[in-house]
Chains A and B, each alone.
Chain A
Amino acid sequence: MNTIVDARGLSCPQPVLMTMDEIKKASQGEIEILVDTDTSKENVSRAAESKGWGVKGVREEGEGYRITIVGS
């Protein structure tokens, strides 16, 4: 079961802060982040990549996106 970060409805920088917190806790594995704006999608992806995590997939879901990031 992946960790899921629900950042829907939150404006920047909250989605990035929440993602960073999980990255710090997990250090590896998969994290799924739910966001509802394109800005948050870009920011979360950029932040994950800056921490050396890969963006495995971005899926449209409901009114937003489900971003899956992978750390190894």
Chain B
Amino acid sequence: MGQLKNFFASRWGIIGVGAFIGVLAPLLQKWGNPGNMGICVACFERDIAGAVGLQRAAVVQYMRPEIIGFVLGSLIAALLFKEFRARTGSAPIVRFVLGAFAMIGALVFLGCPWRALLRLAGGDGNALFGIAGLIFGIWIGTLFLKSGYNLGRSEKTHTSVGWLLPLTMLGFLVLMLIFPQINGEPKSGILFYSLKGPGAMHAPLLISLLVGLAVGFVAQRSRFCTMGAFRDLILFRQTHLFWGILSLAVVAFITNLIVGQFHPGFVNQPVANTMEVWNFLGMVLAGLAFALAGGCPGRQLFLAGEGDGDAAVFVLGMIVGAGFAHNFALASSPTGVGPHGIAATIIGLLVCLFIGFTMRKRV
């Protein structure tokens, strides 16, 4: 097992994990997930918010098993390799707020960093503006990190604390089994299910769950992180994590070519719009929030799976943020930004700057 442990931390390990995700994400799309959205952590958490009624946009409601699998797969890996470690206490409220605004920024762009790469790999040129924004936001984050920004130390805590988010996810899965989707019905028991739109497009439950578990497992082992990839490159000139996302993008592109899902262009791309400035600025906000919180939305799920209670708070912040994003009409749509999306992006950037400037005390 020691050798396996070392393998995932190696360059070929992270490249392998990126390739693994790069194959499976386009396949999930082929099996039913929305266009260029085989995996999107932000979109899927937003759909979960919709499934439980925290937001009531009828087209984006589905209890995404991939997210459940990410957390539980990471939990299994962490337990198996004795890395599960319950910890919390590193500025949870700040992480919650960062999570909420990261979600709002991601929904202005229409995708998290994972989907930005997958959109590009599917030929969506608008993703270039999002990725540029992501890198710019992370670059601002590195300036804060260089000047001493930090969220303070976490502390070891009761094991049960680390179990709470995995158990919540398990609870979501149980709810899905008790209240399964009924053909043609917008609601099953207490869960909402979209009848049309992206929320109605999904791979079969078992496949989504298994892929989620597998990705969660290998991502926990390899520490795969889309934000860390750019951050480490900018901050330390380190390419380790970057190899992972490069591999993801290239392999997803090849897989899309093979299965006929590569459609280059800017207009009429699936779940996307052509407002360059807001595609860019939405991701500046998300990138900055991820950088200040120390991980991309996927990484936060994997950390939560290995017992990090602060990452779990970030995840909950994202889900609540999705509620605000749709209830307040902040999220974009294929026709353009939401009525209040621009205001929310500016407020989010100001909040992130406030956090960045005021939390620079040396620990």
Binding site for B on A (CB under 8 A): 8-14, 16-17, 20, 36-39, 42-43, 46-47, 50, 63
Contacts and interface: CB of A to CB of B under 8 A. Distances in A.
Nearest to B89: A9
Given A37-B85, A42-B9, A63-B85, A9 B155 contact: yes
Interface in B28-57: none
Contacts of A39: 223
Contact of B87 (A9, A17, A20): A9
Contacts of B308: 11
Nearest to B228: A12
B1 to A, nearest CB: 13
Interface of A is mostly: helix
B238 A46 contact: yes
A47 to B, nearest CB: 6
Contacts of A12: 228, 294-295
Given A9-B154, A46-B240, A50-B236, A38 B90 contact: no
A16 B232 CA distance: 10
17 contacts: A8-B153, A9-B152, A10-B150, A10-B153, A11-B90, A11-B154, A11-B294, A11-B308, A13-B236, A14-B363, A17-B146, A20-B236, A37-B83, A42-B9, A42-B223, A47-B236, A50-B236
Contacts of A37: 83, 85
Q: Which 6 A-B pairs have the closest CB atoms?
A: A9-B153, A11-B294, A9-B154, A42-B9, A38-B83, A39-B223
B235 interface: yes
B151 interface: yes
A36 B85 contact: yes
B338 to A, nearest CB: 32
B156 interface: yes
Contacts of A42: 9, 223
A13 B240 CA distance: 13
Tier of interface size on chain B: 20 to 34
A36 to B, nearest CB: 7
B326 interface: no
B87 A13 contact: no
A50 B236 CA distance: 9
A43 B9 CA distance: 9
A2 B36 CA distance: 52
A17 B141 CA distance: 14
Contacts of A14: 150, 363
Contacts of A20: 236
B169 interface: no
Interface string B178-219: 000000000000000000000000000000000000000000
Interface string B138-164: 000000011000111111100000000
Interface in B83-106: 83, 85, 87, 90
A33 B235 CA distance: 20
**Looking at A8, A12, A13, A43, which has the most chain B CB atoms within 10 Å of its CB?**
A13
A13 B83 CA distance: 19
A11 B231 contact: no
Contacts of B232: 13
Contacts of B83: 37-38
A40 B119 CA distance: 31
Contacts of B9: 42
A57 to B, nearest CB: 16
